[in-house]
Amino acid sequence: MSGRHRALQEIPGLADLFAGQQGLARRSQLSELGVSRDHVARQVAAGRWQLLAPEVVAADNGRIDDAQLRWRAVLHATCGWLGGHSALHQLGLTGYEPERIHVLVPRDRRPAPLPDVVVHVTDRVPGPPPELREGLAVTGAARAAVDGAAWERWPRAAAVLVLSAVQQRLVSPADVLAELAGAGRVRHRAVVRDAMAEAGAGADSLAEIDVLPLLRRAGLPSPRRQVEAHGHRRDLEVTLADGSVLVIEIDGPAHDNPESRWADAARDTGVAADGKLLVRIPSFAVRRRQLEVVTRLTTIRRAAEERVAAAQPPPAR
């Protein structure tokens, strides 16, 4: 077999293999098609192919993109799955693009270290060995959420991750809790369990959970969560002493751009049309300006109580 590039057209199945794996292949896969190591070496020497790992070949010599980096990691692992943050990212999670690629492998498979790849060894294998020609091997969303949370250094980061997966509709709280129950000893187990309990009760983010103690400190009653109105969901609603309703929206950084603010204004119009009060609290204030948040909410509560007192008839003389 020559080192000429037309080999891609001459070898049955070779072009399809590269096309199905973002232009990458494992040496063993190439060998199954009759492509020898010498042939690979000639293609690499000619500058047509490149080695991305000791056993992973790319069918071009250009810069590889994020999708190819994920394929590189899984192909290098020989028998592995994208896991944790990387799996959630592959499944559609936004806002948590991992700096390194996380791969889950069975305990009897320990691939050599590879830059920017984190290998996690497990006794809980996700399933039978992945058939990569059917697509990139990825753990399920529930497993990825639990694993990703366990790999976080800080409890708060673990809670944010699983809540984000739920909020973006990748997984349900019930599925995460079921996965957690079968996972054995898992780091941040209590944090994940509590976060899923709150999510099941309607919390959509960690900031919504964090604000609840502030509402209690302000003397407000327990809020209703994720209230549907005009085709949108409002984070929290509280009925005040005078019967008026206070809508509380917790705004993360995504609300800071002009388009998001314009969309918020449209929703705020619906709140006003319903005759309800509205207060928006930035998520950073829930974490760093708690006393100010409590003070402002207390002011609203007291105003409602004063309206009730002013409406009472004067005492008889």
Longest dimension (CA), the chain: 112
Q: Please name which of 68, 46, 47, 50 lies closest in space to residue 59, comparing C-alpha atoms.
A: 50
Residue 124 has pLDDT above 80, yes or no: yes
Q: Which residues of 151-162 are buried (b: 16+ CB within 10 A; e: fewer)?
A: bbeebebbbbbb
**pLDDT, position 133:** 64
Mean pLDDT value of segment 198-227: 87
Evaluate whether 68 touches 22 at the Cβ level (below 8 Å): yes
> Cα 247–250–256 angle (5° rounding)?
120
Residue 202 has pLDDT above 90, yes or no: no
**pLDDT, position 8:** 62
pLDDT band at residue 7 using 50, 70 and 90 as cut-offs? low
Query: Backbone dihedral region of 223: left (phi > 0), alpha (psi from -120 to 50 degrees) or beta?
Result: beta
Mean pLDDT value of segment 56-69: 91
**pLDDT, position 256:** 75
Residues 67 and 20: their CA atoms lie apart, in Å, by 12
Residue 88 has pLDDT above 50, yes or no: yes
Residues 193 and 180: their CA atoms lie apart, in Å, by 8
List the beta bridge partners of residue 121: 105
Strands of the chain, DSSP E? 24-26, 50-53, 56-58, 81-82, 101-106, 117-122, 224-229, 232-239, 245-251, 277-282
pTM for this model (two decimals): 0.76
Residue 295 has pLDDT above 80, yes or no: yes
Q: Please name which of 59, 66, 63 lies closest in space to residue 29, comparing C-alpha atoms.
A: 59
pLDDT band at residue 287 using 50, 70 and 90 as cut-offs? confident
Mean pLDDT value of segment 224-243: 88
**pLDDT, position 1:** 45
Residue 226 has pLDDT above 50, yes or no: yes
pLDDT band at residue 257 using 50, 70 and 90 as cut-offs? confident
What strands, in cross-sheet order, belong to the sheet with 56-58? 24-26, 56-58, 50-53
Residue-averaged pLDDT of the chain: 89
Q: Please name which of 63, 62, 68, 59 lies closest in space to residue 5, comparing C-alpha atoms.
A: 59
- Choices 3.10.20.90, 3.40.50.11820, 3.40.640.10, 3.40.960.10: CATH for 206-311: 3.40.960.10
